[in-house]
Structure formats: C-alpha cells, structure tokens
Amino acid sequence: MPWRRPRKKVERPIEVTRSIEESLEDAAAGEEEEDSVDLAGLDDATVVEAATGEPEPERGASDLALKLRETLAREPAPARARPRATTYPESGVDLAVDAARGLRLRNPVLTASGTFGQGIEYAELIDVARLGAIVNKGTTPNMRPGNPQYRIAETPSGILNSIGLENPGAVEVARRYGVQWAALGVPVIVNVAGYSVEDYVYVVSEMAGTPGVVAYELNVSCPNVKDGMIFGSDPSLAAELTRAVKAETDLPVIVKLTPNAPDVVAVARACEEAGADGVTAINTVLGMRIDTRRRRPILGTGSGGLSGPAIRPIAVHITYQVAQAVGIPIMGAGGVTSAEDALEFLMAGASAVQVGTATFADPLVPLKVIEGLAAYVREHGLRSIREIVGTALPRMVE
Ligand SMILES: Cc1cc2nc3c(=O)[nH]c(=O)nc-3n(C[C@H](O)[C@H](O)[C@H](O)COP(=O)(O)O)c2cc1C
C-alpha cells in the first residue's frame, strides 16, 4: 500500500491520573507507532503517489529508491574524527600517568563507562584524541536490551540510573567499533560485565585483538546468578574472577570497585593479590526515588545507582582508604566536574580520574579538566602531574 494518505495530527489529552512524564511518553509512543505504519505504507511510493495518495500505473522501483536501498544495506560509515589543532592548552605539560600497571596514558582524564557511549558518538563534538582514554559501555557476552523505563531519575546533585547494561554483545562490539576506535587515536578500555566467571572470560576472549583496546575494566557490581552474590562484595569471588581474566589476556586488568561492598578495601586488596593491574574507585552508590503521585519507585527496577557530585566525597574517601592498602594504581570516579574535583582524587592517591555524569550536562567537561590540570602544573611549577598523586595521604603529610 504505497499510497496511504498522510494522516492528520491526533490531539492526545493529558490524563490527570498519570504523571506528566507518563502522558508524554504514551503520546510519543502512539505517534511513533502511527509514524511507522505510515512510513511502511509510503515505502517505495513515488513522490506523486505520496502526494496524491493514489497508486501510479504499473512502474518499477525508482532510481532513488534503488540507491536508498543500497545505502541502507551498507555497513555504517566510519566515525569522522574532528580535525586536530596543532596546539592545545595542555601541550608541552607533562600530564602522563600510569592509570594501571602497564597502562601509561598521555594524561589522567578518562571518560567513565556508560556515560560516553562507545566514544565514537562524541568524535564529531570534541577531539576525543585529547583524552587519556575512554572506557566503553559495559560489554556482556550476549546482546542486552536493558531495563524497563524509567531508567534515569534526577536527584539533588546527581542522577539515579538503572540502564541494565544495554549493549550489542561482545562479538558485535568488537566488529562494529574496533576499527573505528583505532582510527580515533584514543586508547579504549573495555568495561566487562557478566553473571559468572565464564561470562567475563568469554567477553575478554572475544575482544582479543580488537584494534584500539588497551585494557579491561571489570564491572563487578552485577549479581552472580549462581549463588546470588555480587562479585564486587566478596573479596574471594573478586579475586577468583581477577585470576581467571588475568589468565585469559596479556592486557592490563582493572577491577572497578563498588561502594556497596561491606569492606571495599578488603576487595581491593584481594584483587591486587590475585594479579589486578589497577582498580577504579568507584561505581555508583545504591539509591532510590519514589514517585509520590503513583506511590511507587520511579525507576523501572525500583533501585538504581547514584552518580554525580553527590557521591564525590564517598568516592574520594574510598580512594584515600584504598590508596593506603594497595600498591597498584587507582582511577578515581564519582562526581568529577572540574579540575579542582580531579585534584581531590589525585591528592587522595588516584593516578587518574574518570568523568561520567558531568558529560551529560556538558560534553566538554573532560577536556576542561585536562586544561585545568595543565594550568595547575604550570602555576605550581611542577615537573609533572605525577608529583601531586597521593600528596594528601597520611604518610605524605609532614
Ligand atoms: C547512565 C550511566 C550508565 C553507567 N553504566 C556503567 C557501565 O555500563 N559499567 C560500569 O562499570 N559503570 C557504569 N556506570 C558508572 C560510571 O562509570 C561511574 O563509575 C559512576 O557514574 C560515577 O562517576 P560519575 O559520578 O562521574 O558519573 C554508569 C553510570 C551512569 C550514570
């Protein structure tokens, strides 16, 4: 039926018993459905058929339709990186750090997993090659569609999320993004998630040899289905996982600590003993918001993970504690919005920081943090940013 008449816009009343967000979402869903019916109806219609709503006499597919079909069948075009400037404010300043054992980065600023897509999406907005590295979205063995709506709720000074690790699965991630990552000129750390040791090992084995990938970060906050535990909460499970992944890859393995563990320092220690090359501190903090009109939790899954400036003091404190317990590098994460915030983490013992939620409000934040750190090194006459790492730790205080 390529000659369906264009439909009239339907007014949808806002239902008073539902929240505004729900009504808007219902209206959008209804329109989307009708649009897709109409678009399907218009598929292959000529301009005359679409305009008149009447079929044209016998005809073959137009040249335009054939070209369109051919283009749609092609692989996605490679990401276009922004042209690089020759100098940036950080040029000539020694910002290099070891973000993990065997992982030297040009500067200590990374983007956090789940908040920067696969990195490719941002290449037209910012020069991603200026970043220390990017951490991709959590990658699982198979495709995951993610959790039911709502997945994000705002909170004072942060957000709650329950995305549910939506991703296309390890094989697709490697196939779709590997070549593009290498072309971007920024190192990529693959964030790995799963429900069993075998899941994590599988992802790492499937990602082996993927261009651009320099390390793995293990997201250990997923429930272990077998015995209902969370890897990141139990030092011996976290150690077992670390050992298994280390045996699978020669690339550095970083364990991302969860603040929801009863003893996060014990988990960090166990991972170091099991061979981890670094730790990230921290993942999100468990939290909940209630929709008082519906008398139900706002997030589709009830609880979610709190991120943003609200959790920064928790993250700095955990960094400070872990830095005194392990010798491997730490990446700080949690509420970094400025160079000043990043300095707090570095002085508390982190070698690098990851910027997450702040990039939703302003994608330039990671670059502004790099520029601010470079300015700090210059203003304080330091030889490198490494000189300030751990300066707030007890053993460093005179
Ligand atoms: C929307 C969203 C999705 C996230 N997805 C992941 C993920 O897939 N894997 C992971 O290890 N952490 C994930 N995180 C946690 C972040 O990487 C980061 O550890 C946390 O948000 C704290 O940093 P921030 O306050 O700067 O956002 C996610 C966070 C947000 C806000």
Q: Across residues 174-184, what is the average pLDDT?
A: 96
pLDDT digits (tens, 9 = 90+) for 236-282: 999 999 999 999 999 999 999 999 999 999 999 999 999 999 999 99
Q: How confident is the model at residue 228 (pLDDT cuts 50, 70, 90)?
A: very low
Q: Inform me whether the pLDDT recorded for 3 exceeds 50.
A: no
* pLDDT for 86: 74
Q: Inform me whether the pLDDT recorded for 106 exceeds 80.
A: yes
Q: How confident is the model at residue 230 (pLDDT cuts 50, 70, 90)?
A: confident
Q: Inform me whether the pLDDT recorded for 398 exceeds 60.
A: no
CATH class of 97-396: alpha beta
CA-nearest residue for atom 23, ligand 1, is: 334
* pLDDT for 81: 61
* pLDDT for 79: 59
Q: What's the mean per-residue pLDDT of the chain?
A: 86
Report the percentage of the chain scoring pLDDT > 70: 76
* pLDDT for 70: 65
Q: How confident is the model at residue 226 (pLDDT cuts 50, 70, 90)?
A: very low
Higher pLDDT, 14 or 394: 394
Does residue 48 contact residue 8 with C-beta atoms inside 8 Å?
no
Which atom of ligand 1 approaches the CA of 355 most closely? 26
Q: Inform me whether the pLDDT recorded for 218 exceeds 80.
A: yes
Q: Which residues line ligand 1 (CB under 6 A)?
A: 112-115, 137-138, 159, 161, 163, 165, 191, 219, 256, 283-284, 307-308, 311, 333-336, 355-358
Q: Inform me whether the pLDDT recorded for 184 exceeds 80.
A: yes
Min mean pLDDT across 31-35, 117-121, 272-276, 322-326 is at: 31-35
* pLDDT for 16: 41
Q: Across residues 191-200, what is the average pLDDT?
A: 95
Q: Best mutation site among 110, 115, 139, 217 for ligand 1, i.e. most ligand atoms within 8 A of its Cβ?
A: 115
Q: How confident is the model at residue 38 (pLDDT cuts 50, 70, 90)?
A: very low
Active site residues: 222
**Dist CA 42 CA 61 (whole Å):** 13
CA-nearest residue for atom 18, ligand 1, is: 283
Residues 6+ apart with CB under 8 A from 212: 177, 178, 180, 181, 182, 184, 186, 187, 188
Residues 6+ apart with CB under 8 A from 139: 167, 169, 170, 173, 190, 191, 192, 193, 203, 207
Instruction: Give residue 283 CA to ligand 1 midpoint distance, Å.
Output: 6
Higher pLDDT, 52 or 15: 52
Q: Across residues 363-378, what is the average pLDDT?
A: 98
Q: Across residues 24-31, what is the average pLDDT?
A: 50
In the chain, domain spans: 20-73, 97-396
User: For residue 207, what are the CA distances in angstroms to 169, 172, 216, 219, 231?
Assistant: 10, 10, 10, 16, 21
Q: Across residues 355-361, what is the average pLDDT?
A: 97
Q: How confident is the model at residue 221 (pLDDT cuts 50, 70, 90)?
A: confident
**Dist CA 218 CA 279 (whole Å):** 9
